[in-house]
Structure 1
Amino acid sequence: MYKVFILSVLLMGCKGKDSKEVEKGKVVFNQALADELERMVEVDQIAAYIPQGKYKELSSEAWNAFKDSVFTTHQKRLSQIFEKHGFVGFDLAGENGSRDFWLMVQHSDHVPGFQKEVLDQMKVEVDKGNASPSNYGLLVDRVRLNTGRPQIYGTQVDYNWELCQAFPKTLEDSLNVNQRREAIGLKPLEEYLNQMSEMHFEINKEMFLKKGIKGPKLYKTVKN
């Protein structure tokens, strides 16, 4: 599952960036932070998926309480990291560390204001080649939906449970969505929706088979 302004501008752009992490005009890679984010995202992915292993034994109330606790606790720590470092870019924690930070911000839906703050700073890093444009697009859509606006890249989906087919949540200018997606390195929307539909089927396969649905309903693509 999971791609230099001059020193004075860098320091001004990131909220409260620790000067000890800047050496000869470059941000020093922070292994401890990368390791911490990796540990956090392991728990995040447990909470973001359907219950597995010992978590299957939890009641729905207990499972939801666990998920809320994970996302709430992580957001508080992410906020501290953001206050100190700004958006975690490739230079500070590597591509994996940057992705881990972004992914957990994606799951901080209970504080859309925080997501928007991170999004604004992430754009600065994307423009410098220090963060993933495609991940930026996913956070754009998340923030827009969480603040009552239509998404523009179609990355946030819902499902038709009668057909096992993914479809984009409220989308702006759907006719030109694939041009926008291509500009940030995302595959065509139809391919993405088919991938999400296939994952949805595999996750809920037992239930769909009982309903007589033997596979997801896929969209036509250029490859089809």
Structure 2
Amino acid sequence: MKMKEELLHMIREDEAVREALASTGELFHGYHPEMEKVHLRHAKRLKELIEENKGFPTIAQVGEDACIAALRLLLHAISWPEFMRSQEENLVDLAKKKQIPRMYVASLVDRIRFYEGRKQVYGTNADWDENGILRITDVEEPDELNKRRKEMDLPAIQSLVITPMDGDYHPPDPAKRHQEFIEWTKKTGWRAI
């Protein structure tokens, strides 16, 4: 299978599993083992493809859709911190050269920081606060946030509140959910134990 078709196939499988788990509500109660299994299998294959290709698949090599699929697969490799971290520097460089979509690289930079417990650069990750409201987590230099977002082809943020309490899902116990999240970040190696 050509790399382009394989990347597109993997992201379609990812979306199908996510949709199935969301339809039953299972997706919203921690990192579902079935979803993690799919994410890890795809991440391992993506790593192989990167090695075979001697670099991350760019728009010029596989087209924009497959490049985005590869970036999304990488963003979903959340229980494999070493892999995500290993790609950051190269992807930042490729984004500067406009060889891959910048907004996904902004998400990668932020996602790594989010899981490590650091402030974000671009404000692309949100989490439930102690009141059960989904908000953008802390960002560096908030006054410069929209400028940085624009540089990465992201829209401006006018309010850091993402959703009110009346959305589809809110954790019944935000404090418990947060503690489970912290424990997961330690177990997977994002944060020191």
Q: What is the identity percentage for the equivalent residue pairs of Structure 1 and Structure 2?
A: 21
Q: Specify the alignment match of 1:74 in structure 2.
A: 42
Name the Cα RMSD after superposition: 3.1
Is the Cα–Cα contact under 8 Å of residues 112 and 147 in structure 1 kept in the other structure?
no
Is the Cα–Cα contact under 8 Å of residues 18 and 27 in structure 2 kept in the other structure?
no
Determine if the alignment matches structure 1 residue 189 to structure 2 residue 135: no
1:162-193 deviations in Å (ceiling 9; x for gaps): 67x431123221122111111111111236x5
Q: Specify the alignment match of 1:125 in structure 2.
A: 94
Counterpart residue type for residue 170 of structure 1: D
Give 3-state SS (helix, strand or coil) of 2:78's partner.
Answer: coil
State how far apart, in whole Å, the 2-side matches of 1:35 and 1:187 are: 30
State how far apart, in whole Å, the 2-side matches of 1:115 and 1:38 are: 19
Give 3-state SS (helix, strand or coil) of 2:128's partner.
Answer: strand
Is the Cα–Cα contact under 8 Å of residues 28 and 169 in structure 2 kept in the other structure?
no
Q: Which of 54, 65, 71 is the equivalent residue of 2:33?
A: 65
Determine if the alignment matches structure 1 residue 103 to structure 2 residue 69: no
Is the Cα–Cα contact under 8 Å of residues 40 and 80 in structure 2 kept in the other structure?
no
Aligned residue runs from structure 1 range 1-80, under 5 A: 32-48=2-18, 51-52=21-22, 56=24, 64-80=32-48
Mark the CA change 1:117 to 1:60 in structure 2 (over 3 Å): closer, same or farther.
Answer: closer
Q: Which of 147, 151, 176 is the equivalent residue of 1:179?
A: 147
Aligned length: 168
1:29-50 deviations in Å (ceiling 9; x for gaps): xx82111111100121234457
* Length-normalised TM-score, structure 1: 0.64
* Length-normalised TM-score, structure 2: 0.73
Counterpart residue type for residue 110 of structure 2: D
Q: Which of 104, 107, 110 is the equivalent residue of 1:141?
A: 110
Give 3-state SS (helix, strand or coil) of 1:190's partner.
Answer: coil
Q: Bigger radius of gyration, 1 or 2?
A: 1
Is the Cα–Cα contact under 8 Å of residues 22 and 28 in structure 2 kept in the other structure?
no
Q: Note the C-alpha offset of 1:127.
A: 2.4
Mark the CA change 1:91 to 1:60 in structure 2 (over 3 Å): closer, same or farther.
Answer: closer
Counterpart residue type for residue 89 of structure 2: D
Structure 2, gaps ≥5 residues long: 173-193
Is the Cα–Cα contact under 8 Å of residues 158 and 167 in structure 1 kept in the other structure?
yes
